[in-house]
Amino acid sequence: RRPKINVDESRNVEVKHKDGQVTPSSLFVSILFDSDPTDYKLCAILRDCTKICELEHKKDSFMATVNHELRTPLNGVIGLSESLRMTEPNPGRKKHLDIINNCAVRLLALVNEIMDIAALKAKKMQLNFGMVNVNEICEQVCGEMMEAVDKRGRKIKKDKVDLGFLPDPACPEVEGDRE
């Protein structure tokens, strides 16, 4: 009869060699049971994770660089386009500045989503838990949708779009991600 294998999870450990060098490793331990429950053996597998750690470090460095190199100029474009828009008397130019600003804001949102996905995959995403007002979120979403309809007024007949939200005063706050 074959022994039953109970598998535990692996653990990240550091192995210190005789020369003092430390190697990041993964330790995997299983207990092997035979037909007699008092008779068991331990099976341990130790794997050198140096290359994995180096790749992980390179990936983190790349993501930090991409994060900085994309967000910094986009924030500059957003800030300057908003500043110029406020002082621009020409309606045509003001409209062009709106387009520049909206495109930069959408691109920044996309960059943020990509960074969030990368953080989720790396299990490094931090959620900002707290009490969230559902009515406020719904009002904000409806406002953003109506703003999108207003901006596309030529393509969408605004008189055919009726988007509204009636807040429920009895709706309690819920715990969620504030972001």
Q: What is the CATH number of the domain that holds 72?
A: 1.10.287
- E strand or H helix that includes residue 161: none
Q: What is the pLDDT of residue 64?
A: 78
- Do residues 64 and 119 both lie within one domain? yes
- In which domain, by residue range, is 15 found? 4-48
pTM value is 0.47
- Do residues 121 and 135 both lie within one domain? no
Alpha-carbon distance of 90 to 102, in angstroms, equals: 18
Q: What is the total count of domains within the chain?
A: 3
Contact 63, 56 (CB under 8 A): no
Per-block mean pLDDT, blocks of 10 residues, the chain (179 long): 56 88 86 77 84 87 82 88 89 89 88 79 71 82 70 56 74 80
- Do residues 77 and 97 both lie within one domain? yes
CA 57 to chain centre: 18
158 CB-side CA count, 13 A: 10
179 in any annotated domain: no
Q: What is the pLDDT of residue 7?
A: 58
Contact 161, 149 (CB under 8 A): yes
Q: Coil, strand, or helix at residue 30?
A: strand
- Do residues 148 and 117 both lie within one domain? no
Q: What is the pLDDT of residue 3?
A: 47
